Structure 1
């Protein structure tokens, strides 16, 4: 399949849904909604919601009810980027080639925009208007997955560990723990939520979870490599940011070539976990390969 065409089509689907549910920039309070829209529609790849759609598709599920579930992952991801860029955290000036949210709207508004995107994600997952075809018990399970993936034992917990590891001589297991939470848990949630919405069996959910855990690691390794090898134009932000903050990364332990090999091995394992799935899982297979081949 043409993975780039698939990504473009799915990204357009997600963007059109997000546009339909997100308040306009003229909605009061105006500055808040301008700030939310500024980051949400800044040109993200939409990998997490696309993984949700692809996981559901692997089980033959394409009902409209999957879109708010998928979109909730992008809202969480965008909120995390706004907060991650703040002076008290990574203190970044650029994101996706544009000034970061707090550089445009100020720190207070950036924090509140992130808070609003976070809570809007749970609104989408729970709103009766978007629940056609999903029984209440399954929707509760989806909300639980989103909370675990993004919360204190997931993405937020990983961000805490990442901050605490700056300028520290951490070992490889510690690095793996950081990234299993900071990056991996939200990707894991994205795939599991698609599978749960589609009514996956216990065995199917286990296989898709294992797939997600491997591509979550591959995604972070690829990010670490890009931080070393990418240009500002490709990344949309300054390269070598991890080294400047005193962070150890996979290239620190393995070198660039060794890290790339490790990422490729993760992709191979991820695809192997899809052995019991047919052609409907081809998007997941190609997404795994794309994750390590991307340039930003």
Structure 2
């Protein structure tokens, strides 16, 4: 327990009601015990014992209250230590991880989470999915302990820290019935006059601005139609309503109704695992340590 010598001497003497026995149990001299108790009484500004004889004593009302409350504190402290030991051993824990709609688990993230499941069955990893805005909100309000998102998105969150989990190719997802789906490659200039599906502006991250700038450099403004969120955007593409920008790690790219084209002009984006700096969930520490072993040290 986290108590100083004065407090420990008081508690032992209060239990024994005998300074000599209390000193013996603490393996110190009786004068040393008496000195510590006297110092504690001076600190508190009140008597904690009635000293009728040299070694036999009784608790004052203040001393009785002090003993009772300290015993409660010991139980609380012991409980804290036990929880800390269980967390250290990975015997219990819970972490909520937020993912983008339609995201396919990056290999390394999947490997780390599976390793936690295998080696620490007492730890529960809960997965929730939403749009970019949802992920930012969930991390900020504590709904999620960690989110997997793009680095640009993580940079919008106050007091967030993150680490790279993958580098992804940007490209276009084209409905199979669109004539462009027959092409071997696509360039931004090929999208002039094509409907480009983008999510609500609150869901848009910086790659869309980069895309618009590149379209303007090619001499045209993209013909954009809006979807309320990422889920609707993916559905609209599958229904043939237009083309969307996406990375190569989303489920829609595996749909038989669409074709994915990598686009060198759009470049790559970094996928990161982000969490708040003041989130002390021990499972994040487990994740980070395992990730370092599986990802950093293998590269």
TM-score of the aligned structures, taking structure 2 as reference length: 0.22
TM-score of the aligned structures, taking structure 1 as reference length: 0.22
Kindly indicate which of the two structures has a greater share of residues assigned to strand: 2
**Larger Rg: 1 or 2?**
2
Kindly indicate which of the two structures has a greater share of residues assigned to helix: 1
